[in-house]
Copies of this chain bind each other. A is one copy, B any other.
Amino acid sequence: MQKKVEYNEAIKTKYPEQVVIAVAKDPNGKANPITLGWTMIVSGSPPMMAIAVASTHYSIKAIRHCKCFTIAFPSADMADAALFFGSHSGRDMDKFAEFDCETAPAEVIDSVLINDAVANFECKLESETVAGDHIVFVGKVVCSHTSTEPKKRLYTVAPGHKMGAL
């Protein structure tokens, strides 16, 4: 049986929720990572992925500037990095300089890969759509990478940004 409840109550049932780190270079060439839970695959052939980014976030400017972004699946041991990248703004700092997180140049797009991630997907921006207080960016995956060592993916397992493996 179902009972009607407020949205904020109902949406607490969403956990565990996947975590990704999207990376895009700003107009100064600074690679800016942002942690996102709102992401999905949107197409199989060609492969495409979408991310929803809050309209006020600095990453909006970076993605619109370079018209591409990396989607990294952080590994379970990257919870601290994911929390840092998700709670600071690239307007004020160089997040990759402030928080130790090795990167390597992407192969096809002008972005970077996160070395310790489970996987990295290089995406070329295909479209953007306003959806409430977020912008949905759809990217076509043009190059894919996985970790050379087996790793588990990071999830948000409970409210309050509680993250871990499953």
Which residues on B sit within 8 Å (CB–CB) of A138?
129, 131, 136
Which residues on B sit within 8 Å (CB–CB) of A39?
40
A2-B148, A4-B144 in contact; A134/B42 too (CB < 8 A)?
A: yes
Give the residues from 37 to 55 in chain A that come closer than 8 angstroms, CB to CB, to chain B: 37-48, 50, 52
Number of copies: 2
We find that the number of chain A residues with CB closer than 8 angstroms to chain B is 61
In the complex the two chains form, what is the Cα distance from A155 to B44 in whole Å? 19
A97 on the interface (CB 8 Å rule)?
no
Which residues on B sit within 8 Å (CB–CB) of A129?
127, 129, 136, 138
Which residues on B sit within 8 Å (CB–CB) of A120?
2
Give the residues from 116 to 159 in chain A that come closer than 8 angstroms, CB to CB, to chain B: 117-121, 126-127, 129, 131-134, 136, 138, 140-141, 143-149, 153, 155
Closest residue on chain B to residue A104 by CB atoms: B2
Interface centre among A15, A50, A145, A166 (most CB of B within 10 A): A50
